[in-house]
Structure 1
Amino acid sequence: MEIIENLSTYSSRISRWNGDERLAGYPFVENVNAPFTPVRRALPMLNLALVSTAGACIDGTEPFDVSSRGEARFDEIPIEVEAADLRYAASGYDPTAVKQDRNAQVPVDRLAEYEANSVIGKLNSVWWSTSSFIPNAQTVAEELAPKLSERLARYEVNAALIIPASRLCHQTAGLIARRIEADGIPTIVISVDKLMSERVRPPRTAYYEGDFGTVVGPADWPEFQRRVLDETLRNMETFDQPGIRKLAVDIESKVEAARGER
């Protein structure tokens, strides 16, 4: 399965792009098919990997390059690292929320709760962070995604939750998901940009009408974050083919707004 279909066409298009950091005229990837690996274990038996494209790094380490060329690398961050020790190289999204509450984009604390309550078997001992700005999708497909997939396999994870932060991040996350899935590990991407998910076609997508920078939910609103994660993970088990599913959290939020609730 090709991670980028019609790669030669994409290569030609990206070579002509002017490098505008606002992505004006940017040639987004467009795929038709998607790889698919069935989930073979129930959630309470999974070693779950978390992959974030929010550009997080440990304070004191080299931040991601979010210049016009971007940087196709990833960091492995132990789950014991505290939120206060993380820094974010943000591009394409406002990092205010994730700096206030990392769970808005990097739900380590929420998933640790799930492990403690046996919703999932285990949150993997490290999580993976990539740059929030990697405009050359070919480097994601040919360099970043294969290396990242190899690391997940070494940790013997059973599934991967992948969370983008911006529009371009949705492309990066989708390509990473395609490679990991092609290598035999089930994935699911949380999306707030349905058009991008339809273009890139990650194997499984859980979509709702949220915002860049708070894809898991608003800062300091753990109940909402749990709704998004709970529905996403439970959906992962029930996909029998590639696709996009809309989360009911969308409807619940509109009802709350109509009632004047948070």
Structure 2
Amino acid sequence: MNIHVPNTGSFRSATDMEILERPLEWLRDFQSGWLSHFEKTGIADWSLYTYPTNYLAPASKGVDLAHSRVLLISTAGAYYPAVQRPFNCDNPLGDYTIRIVPSAVPLESMVFGHPGVNQAYVEKDPEVLLPLEHLRSLVEEKYIGSLAPIFITLCGVQPHAIRVVKELIPNILKVAKEYQVQAAMIIPADQLCIQTAGLIARALEVNNIAATMTTWDADMAYMSAPPRLTATYLPAGCPIGMPGDKAQQRRILKATLDLLEVHSPTGIIYLSELASS
């Protein structure tokens, strides 16, 4: 059964929304805790990390999916090695750049650089993190209006939430507006990616681009208060579905996309039944 958990916090008009609430308070805790320890020892001790917590979710109307252009955003550190340099995913302080990849690129030509990506999953089936073939099929079926001719990738190992807001997100918004998208789907690849994905989703919604995301860790995602969110009980690293299970992937993808037509915030929509094979 799909369980709808209402957003128990408050919500505010999307155009009047902070991406990161209480940023100076978060920065103080980050600098005195995780960052200070890393600078002294060179060790990234995640038990010291303060995850940002937002309490207000952006509220705005949805879109007509059948007449909307959808942008895919992945945090898996994927890049096209023929023409792009890899991300610096091994840097615990983060790489806050993006790569813009043609949506028609053969998935087998992509390299997934995020250290948390389960390479066995993506080698068997890259659709678990980049469901481009499914999205193309949904366009052909007129389920969605169109797919943006490019998709955005980034490496979600990004502990500095303010740098996410100040450096990463403006570049994403620039691309989204350039390609005139009305909606976006963000797919996290690992635990810290969930935080980044939630902040990106909030920023898109604030800028009148309906945003949705899916995750295997609802509690982590809920901390960032994204506008729309589905959650499964699948293993980390395959948020869209298990490798090779095309029917499962399609069900989860469609359920997550369907939220784009719903007024945000939706709270958490659990997809336990859809995630079963």
Task: Tell me the TM-score normalised to structure 2 length.
Answer: 0.86
Instruction: Tell me how far 1:127 sits from its aligned partner.
Output: 0.3
Matched residue count:
252
Counterpart residue type for residue 229 of structure 2: T
Which residue of 1 is the match for residue 72 of structure 2?
A: 50
Q: Would the aligned equivalents of 1:13 and 1:27 in 2 still touch at CA under 8 Å? A: yes
SS in structure 1 of the partner of residue 226 of structure 2: coil
Q: Cα deviations across residues 51-98 of structure 1 (Å, max 9, x unaligned)?
A: 000110012421111221110011110012111211111233423212
What displacement does 1:241 show? 3.1
Given candidates 56, 80, 85, the residue that maps to 1:33 is 56
Q: C-alpha separation between the residues in 2 aligned to 1:240 and 1:195?
A: 18
Match in the other structure for 2:46: 23
What percent identity do the matched residue pairs reach?
Answer: 29
> For residue 18 of structure 2, what is the aligned residue in structure 1?
2
Return the alpha-carbon distance in structure 2 between the equivalents of residues 208 and 239 of structure 1: 21
Look up the match of 2:86: 63
> Secondary structure in 2 aligned to 1:63?
coil
Matches of residues 195-206 of structure 1 in structure 2 within 5 Å? Answer: 195-206=219-230
User: Per-residue deviation at 1:253?
Assistant: 4.5
Task: Report if aligned partners of 1:164, 1:170 keep a CA contact under 8 Å in 2.
Answer: yes
- Aligned residue number for residue 164 of structure 1: 188
| Residues 118-159 of structure 1 deviation map (CA, whole Å, 9 limit, x = unaligned) | 111111100000113111111111111122012101111010
Farther off after superposition, 228-237 or 182-191: 228-237
Local SS of the residue matching 1:251: coil
The CA deviation at 1:105 is 0.6
In structure 2, the partner of 1:225 is 249
Please tell me whether the aligned partners of residues 36 and 242 of structure 1 are also in contact (alpha carbons under 8 angstroms). no
Higher relative contact order (CA 8 A, sep 6+): 2
Matched residue SS, 1:128: strand
TM-score, normalized by length of structure 1? Answer: 0.91
Counterpart of 1:203 in 2: which secondary structure?
Answer: coil
Q: Tell me the secondary structure at the aligned position of residue 115 of structure 2.
A: coil
Map of 1:91-110 to 2, 5 A cutoff?
91-110=115-134
DSSP 3-state at the match of 1:35: strand
How many Å separate the matches in 1 of 2:274 and 2:107?
Answer: 29
Shift of residue 252, structure 1, vs aligned partner: 4.6
* 1:55 partner letter: G
Letter in 1 for 2:195: Q
1:133 and 2:157 correspond: yes
Q: Given residue 12 of structure 1, which amino acid in structure 2 is its aligned partner?
A: R
